[in-house]
Amino acid sequence: MTDPQRTEADARPAAVLKGLGTYLPPRAVSNDELSERLDTSDEWIRTRTGIRQRFWADPGTATGDLAVEAGARALKSAGVDGVDAVVLATTTPDHPCPGTAPWVAARLGLGPVPAYDVAAVCAGFVYALASAAGLILTGVAERVLVIGAETYSGILDPADRNTAVIFGDGAGAVVLEAGRADEPGALLGFDLGSDGEQHDLIAIPGGGSRQRAASPYFTMQGKKVFAQAVTRMGQSSTALLERLGWPKSSVDRLVGHQANVRILHAVADLLDIDRERAVVNLDRVGNTSAASIPLALADAAGSGELRPGERVVLTAFGGGLAWGSTALVWPDVTPN
């Protein structure tokens, strides 16, 4: 199916989305369960964030395990059994060294392909898409598996109600293939940015080379992050739409990073897009960081909320600070 609003200039080469797979660990954690041991409540969490539950992996399950499951499902959704590269976005790698992607590629039986991790926190999946598109457009790869996978349950301070109620574990993956910009599924452009001056708003202070003995737990200055998330995702999506020549009114679905339903609505308001067009699945999965965008896409496509031929904007924001957006016409892909 082609988009009637396209121009001939769109016959340029592009990375095209061909498959989508996701995986959530089996254990759902309700707000009530968290309220038993933290000074919080289902009512506070629901009204301030929109989250009703999240999934947490058991301590024996690593990010790479979730990534393998989602990766296998994406390959199946695309109807392929091989790729030329694997790009894995995560904040919670299996180990500080080596990267998680090579092991995931090996577990998936993909052979000695290039495989590497991308660290852009909650913006990681969009950065990974851009990196994979770069591999395709430079001829390094014809087909790339892009995965976002996280096990935040392992880095949350169980006593910190500011973060423990927000994050969930999960993984999502897509297969990108070399194609043309006038095909449905083609990633039509990217807007990426960062602001390292505000690196301390979202951080794991310890474990790296700067503060070796500091806390290994994830920290977030929620209020400041909220304001930045709205501004940056709004600006980034607007810049991308202007570059693509897509009027805001032509966007059918806004798939934003699933951090807080109030953030998603504020970004929709900035873009003059009806709030109903902003895809929301954080009520079910919480904030899954780098896995957030593919999990939201799969929920929306699986439920029929997102239909082939619709114009979709993906926008994400997270620690770094880092943010990014991309856009596509949704292809006829069945999420797995």
Q: Could you list the residues that contact ligand ACO (CB under 6 A)?
A: 40, 44-45, 48-49, 121-122, 161-162, 165, 202, 220, 222-223, 225-226, 229, 259-260, 263, 289, 317-319
CB 31 within 8 A of CB 91: no
Residue nearest to ligand ACO (CB): 318
The least distance separating ligand ACO from the CB of residue 172, rounded to whole angstroms, comes to 16
CB closer to ligand ACO, 165 vs 175: 165
CB closer to ligand ACO, 294 vs 318: 318
Q: Pick the catalytic residue: 31, 260, 287, 336?
A: 287
Task: Return all residues near 217 (Cβ < 8 A) that are at least 6 apart.
Answer: 155, 156, 157, 160, 163, 204
CB closer to ligand ACO, 226 vs 246: 226
247: helix, coil or strand? coil
The least distance separating ligand ACO from the CB of residue 73, rounded to whole angstroms, comes to 24
Q: Which helix (H) or strand (E) holds 236?
A: helix 222-244
Q: Pick the catalytic residue: 31, 257, 281, 336?
A: 257
In the residue annotation, 257 being an active-site residue is answered as yes
The least distance separating ligand ACO from the CB of residue 322, rounded to whole angstroms, comes to 8
The least distance separating ligand ACO from the CB of residue 261, rounded to whole angstroms, comes to 9
Task: Return all residues near 236 (Cβ < 8 A) that are at least 6 apart.
Answer: 191, 192, 193, 315, 317, 323, 324, 325
- Residues 252 and 309: their CA atoms lie apart, in Å, by 9
Torsion, Cα 290 295 300 304, to 10 degrees, reads 150
The least distance separating ligand ACO from the CB of residue 220, rounded to whole angstroms, comes to 6
CB closer to ligand ACO, 162 vs 235: 162
CB 307 within 8 A of CB 330: yes
CB closer to ligand ACO, 77 vs 90: 90
Q: Which helix (H) or strand (E) holds 317?
A: strand 311-318
DSSP labels for 54-122? EE---TT--HHHHHHHHHHHHHHHHT-S--SEEEEE-SS-SSSSS-SHHHHHHHTT--S--EEEE--GG
Beta bridge mates, 171: 23, 149
Nearest to 226 by CA among 174, 141, 292, 166: 166
Q: Pick the catalytic residue: 31, 122, 260, 336?
A: 122
In the residue annotation, 122 being an active-site residue is answered as yes
The least distance separating ligand ACO from the CB of residue 75, rounded to whole angstroms, comes to 27
CB closer to ligand ACO, 78 vs 220: 220
Active site residues: 122, 257, 287
